Amino acid sequence: MGTYMDEIKFNHYLDCKKCPLWETTTYPGVPTRSLYDNQTISKDKVILFVGQSLGFLENKQGKSFVGYTGQLLTKMIEASGLIDYADVYLSNACKCRPPQGGNETQSNIRACRPYLQDDIDKLRAIYDEVIIFCLGA
């Protein structure tokens, strides 16, 4: 297994202006986070769930997967026993919320790609196995 740490610190890209979404979102550059706040690294595997973009509550709180979909996903993860198998982290391909909850564009996702890749690299530096589970379109 990789190096043990208390938790991984993911960057919050508040000053990001790589695409126009920063102008209409409340919290630009929302960071990847653990399923449970202040989760310690306890397994040699990690599952990273990656959604499309932020919803209304995620944008309001500046935190991925806190709305209805996030609550449902958490219940499904807990019921499946995945938390006994691997540490779990949540992220988004697009780190800002599109206006009126519309769809993000491929250029929005490409602008955020280096941020997501940096988060994946942080996970790969610590865990022996990184499993990425993509959600959405």
Among residues 4, 103, 116, the alpha carbon closest in space to that of 64 is found at: 116
Q: What is the pLDDT of residues 17-76, one digit of tens each?
A: 898 888 888 888 899 999 987 777 889 999 999 998 888 899 889 899 999 999 999 999
**What CA–CA distances, in Å, run from 83 to 2, 41, 48, 77, 88?**
18, 12, 12, 7, 7
Q: What is the pTM of this model?
A: 0.89
Work out the number of other CB atoms within 10 angstroms of the CB of residue 90.
23
Q: What is the pLDDT of residues 79-130, one digit of tens each?
A: 999 999 999 999 999 998 888 767 788 888 899 999 999 999 999 999 999 9
Q: What is the pLDDT of residue 6?
A: 61
Alpha helix ranges (H) inside 1-137: 56-61, 68-80, 82-85, 106-126
C-alpha dihedral (35, 38, 44, 49), degrees to nearest 10: 20
